[in-house]
Chain A
Amino acid sequence: MMDGLTPALFSAAQLPEGQPVNLSRRGVLGAALGALVLGVALPRGAARAQAAAPAVQPGTRIPAFLEIRQDGSVLLKSPFIEGGQGVDTAMAQIVGEELDADPARFVVECAPPGPDYALVNGRRITGGSFSVRSAYPAMRQLGARARAMLVQAAATRLGVPAAELTTEPGKVVHAASGRSLDYGALAAEAAALPVPETAPLRAERDFRYIGKPVARLDVRAKSTGRAMYSIDVTVEGMLQAAVQHAPRLGMEPGAFANEAEVKAMPGVHSIQRLPGAVAVLADRWWRARRAVETLQVGWTPPAADARNVMPADFSSAAHHAVLAAATGPGNPAEVEGDTAAALRSATRTIEAVYDAPFLAHGQLEPPSATARWNADGTLDLWLPNQAPEMFQAVAARVAGIAPEQVKIHSPLLGGFFGRHFLYDSANPFPQAIQLAKEVGRPVKLIWTREEEFLRDALRPMGLARFRAGIGPDGMPVALEAEAVGEGPIGRWFGTAPGKADPSAVEGIAEKPYAIPNRRVVQVPLRHPPIISFWRSVGHSMNDFFYEAFLDEVAEAGGQDPYQLRLRLLAEKPRHKALLEAVGELSGGWKRGPYDAADGTKRARGVAMASPFGSEVATIAEVSLKDGAVVVHDVWVAVDPGRMVNPAIIEAQVNSAVALGLSSALLEEVVYVDGVPQARNFDNYPILTPERMPRVHVRIVESGAPMGGIGEPGLPGVPPAVVNAVAALTGQRVRSLPLAKTRLGAV
């Protein structure tokens, strides 16, 4: 989710093409592959030595990634974590394309921590819609080199020159003699061979898997209950834990009023104090939960030096007023021309203030962590995470051991959307580590949904002030924007003094429109709650602010919003083509209002966004029912440059539309007196099936560098819907969610 880190983190072109370091290393690699072919992992000592060696180039060592089994199936240890985005299948497609192995024969699992997997510009994260685009070159090369080794092994076995051999999915073929050998039968011999420096890549026109709607590898297990998530982990001898957190961050557990009663409850093992929380351990989780919720805890006020204290008087409404009152000048994110002068000479100026609330992730799997201390002082951890090495490092600090003594297991994620990065008090694993240490047994800790709503790290609240100047021809001559608040990049990675936090301004700065004078600044302001990455990060609200205001600009200039965008994109062929594509996909642009066949009055709105290296154009059609918005259809044209799996892209766009619409219509985390008012989905409504619109997707492969897919479908949805509502009702909604505003038809 780290779009703002793009310059620092990522450039696909800079990724190593993957060559072994030197000749002497090659023998080692081959031997290791042999070991893996036999199904034996690298010996622990060897792995550690290699981890310490700076020479490891991520994505190059075949045995760290691939194991071809006797039966021809392929185990791929992926740098990424599957959480619904389809990355396991995409990796199998990319490697399978070059290895010449059917992706359906792949078993993909998340690799343990290690330097081999740092493929997102020297780091390893699953987020920022980075996975496929960052790993693509290395994974292709990896598959190609493994294929070359299999071909060489076959050449030796058959006594023919390698040049006479070809491959078909899963086998090496010697056409001249009509002989062929399955990969599974060659794997052990191939493993003993040196790893070639490079291997030829398949011509793109010959792709069989990349670019095709290859079936996902995980759907059957997920349709039959066999998929395993962190919450499903069982470890022999484990106790189960449930926690009760302090109502406000910073408070600590004081006296227990009914300790004896709770200890006597069925199955209870013990009560444990944790930083800012109490836990009950029991033989069954339900018993632990019931007991911890029965426990009457006196919470002491925060200590003077406590971190991240939630003020007792914090409310989201008052915080909104604080944002609204915070004035610039702010830190510049984009400055072009002279907006002050252009505004002075404009025919007309308009101003507006937009805002969006704190949001919860609401991933359907509640957070959990299972910790097991081993006799040798090492620690096994099973936990939802989007960055195994980062979690390993923090777990090691918490446990007081070295990182290589922490073994991280990364099961499937039951949704993530940015939830499973490191967020201080928002991650359960430090509690599990401490509890397991305390009781000398493995501990599985599950947070209830209620505790999750209490401790989730939030999508920040945001507010933006806009001013635009319009010339005599109705075209904008100047646009100024102040984004007030902070983003997760600044909070968790820091922002240079005087510089804007990219995650606070993305979606407002660097829009593609030809407005000659532009000034975008961030007015930094810290949010008291713990804030986080949330699907599409700053774009999740900033594109709403900007694109809705752009419709106001159009109206002030007497222009149709779609036509204005086309004019402003006249010199941007990629964007213009995409806007035309979505217009066509929707049957031709029409704003409305107009009468639909079912008797409803409807209207449409349009929006564009440039998130995560991809370009997106969105149109939404709405009507009103009892003062609430009904979204009938959403059309999305997405240009990811190049694609790996159109079916997964379409599914991800559907998913992003759903979450974007959920946020636009319904979602808002409300704090009163320092505590969130909603503790479950009953008071934090999310999109239900009956509110789901039809979604129409067109993928445009412009050939531009590959962009992301998991998040880009989201940012255009709130503004397209809000713009459609304005077209339908004349009401310009500048504050989300829409459910707050009573709407009436024109």
Chain B
Amino acid sequence: MELNINGTTRSVEAEADTPLLWVLRDELGMTGTKYGCGVAQCGACTVLVDGQATRSCVTPVESVAGMAITTIEAVEQDPVGRRVVEAWVAAQAPQCGYCQSGQVMAATSLLKQTPHPSDEDIAAAMTNLCRCGTYNAIAAAVRQAAAQG
């Protein structure tokens, strides 16, 4: 099976229903995308599929063959993603950091689609869990990244 990941074609060997998350982490060694719950609850595994924030732990790899997959490893290659990362650093958003790959990807997806989101847009898009409670810093970082867009 061939996957388009971060602009590169990668061929992978996995059962068709293997979650994209585990293909990324195990097969391809891309560990920036995290496993938190495996049941689409936490968002730690968020990647972009054709620009759309997607929870890769419940995404069968077969279903995204041929689509453009972007992971945290390539987020800075995107101008919006780069802005999001800079805003994250400026806001000192991460604590343990474990949820933050997913948070950055969710924010990048939001700002690519809605460059100037309202607070409601942010609330609707930024639903990933953070056990360290960095939610206020994350919201501030999203607003800052949007303001610089």
Contacts and interface: CB of A to CB of B under 8 A. Distances in A.
A410 to B, nearest CB: 14
A416 B95 CA distance: 11
A85 B132 CA distance: 9
A175 to B, nearest CB: 36
B32 interface: yes
Interface in A336-372: 362-366
B73 A365 contact: no
Most interface-central of A219, A448, A449, A681 (chain B CB within 10 A)? A219
Contacts of B88: 219, 223
Contacts of B25: 232, 285
A162 interface: no
Contact of A655 (B75, B100, B134, B138): B134
B96 interface: yes
B26 to A, nearest CB: 5
Contacts of B71: 225
Interface in A641-655: 647, 651, 654-655
Contacts of B98: 229, 363-365, 414-415
Interface string B85-123: 100110011111111110010000000000000000001
B27 interface: yes
Nearest to A452: B37
A647 B90 CA distance: 12
Contact of A223 (B14, B85, B96): B85
Contacts of B99: 364
B33 A285 contact: no
Given A364-B36, A364-B42, A412-B97, A647 B26 contact: no
B44 interface: yes
A177 interface: no
Interface of B: 14-15, 18-19, 22, 25-27, 29, 31-39, 41-42, 44, 71-73, 75-76, 85, 88-89, 92-101, 104, 123, 126-139
A688 B41 CA distance: 10
Nearest to B97: A222
A313 interface: no
Size category of the A interface is 35 or more
Contacts of A229: 98
7 contacts: A84-B132, A219-B93, A364-B42, A415-B131, A651-B92, A689-B128, A689-B130
A44 interface: no
A364 B131 contact: yes
Nearest to B81: A224
Contact of A364 (B26, B96, B138, B139): B96
A105 interface: no
A363 B131 contact: yes
Contacts of B132: 84, 364, 415, 655, 658
Given A223-B89, A225-B72, A364-B44, A688 B36 contact: no
A260 B6 CA distance: 40
A273 to B, nearest CB: 25
A234 interface: yes
A366 B38 CA distance: 11
A413 B97 CA distance: 9
Contact of A449 (B33, B38, B130): B38
A414 to B, nearest CB: 3
Contacts of B92: 215-216, 219, 647, 651
Interface stretch (A465-473, A690-698, A730-738): A690-698
A285 to B, nearest CB: 6
- The 8 A-B residue pairs with the shortest CB-CB distance, nearest first, are A658-B133, A225-B32, A222-B97, A84-B96, A414-B98, A225-B72, A84-B95, A222-B94
A444 B9 CA distance: 28
B125 to A, nearest CB: 10
A317 interface: no
B94 A659 contact: no
B26 A284 contact: yes
Q: Which of B15, B36, B88, B104 counts the most chain A CB atoms within 10 A?
A: B36
B136 A692 contact: yes
B34 A414 contact: yes
A468 to B, nearest CB: 34
A222 B100 contact: yes
A231 interface: yes
Interface in A55-104: 83-86
Contacts of A692: 133, 135-136
B29 A234 contact: yes
Given A285-B22, A692-B136, A223 B131 contact: no
A366 B131 CA distance: 12
A220 interface: yes
Interface of A: 83-86, 215-216, 218-229, 231-232, 234, 240, 266, 284-287, 362-366, 412-417, 446, 448-450, 647, 651, 654-659, 662, 680-682, 686-690, 692, 694-695
Contacts of B96: 83-84, 222, 363-365, 412-416
A285 B136 CA distance: 34
B123 A689 contact: yes
Given A284-B22, A686-B129, A690-B123, A227 B97 contact: yes
Nearest to B98: A414
A647 B14 CA distance: 45
Given A224-B72, A449-B37, A284 B137 contact: no
A657 B73 CA distance: 31
B78 to A, nearest CB: 12
A364 to B, nearest CB: 4
A687 B130 CA distance: 8
Contact of A682 (B18, B34, B39, B94): B39
B126 A689 contact: yes
A234 B28 CA distance: 12
B26 A240 contact: yes
Given A366-B36, A415-B98, A657 B89 contact: no
A613 B133 CA distance: 23
Centre residue among B92, B130, B131 by max chain A CB count within 10 A: B131
Contacts of B36: 364-366, 449
Contacts of A662: 133
A689 B136 CA distance: 8
Nearest to A416: B96
A305 to B, nearest CB: 36
Nearest to A648: B92
A2 to B, nearest CB: 20
Contact of B129 (A240, A364, A414): A364
Contact of B136 (A231, A232, A240, A694): A694
A231 B123 CA distance: 29
B122 to A, nearest CB: 9
Contacts of B32: 224-226
Contacts of B34: 231, 364-365, 414
Given A86-B95, A223-B97, 13 more contacts: A216-B94, A219-B97, A223-B100, A224-B101, A228-B31, A365-B36, A365-B96, A416-B96, A651-B92, A680-B39, A680-B41, A681-B37, A690-B127
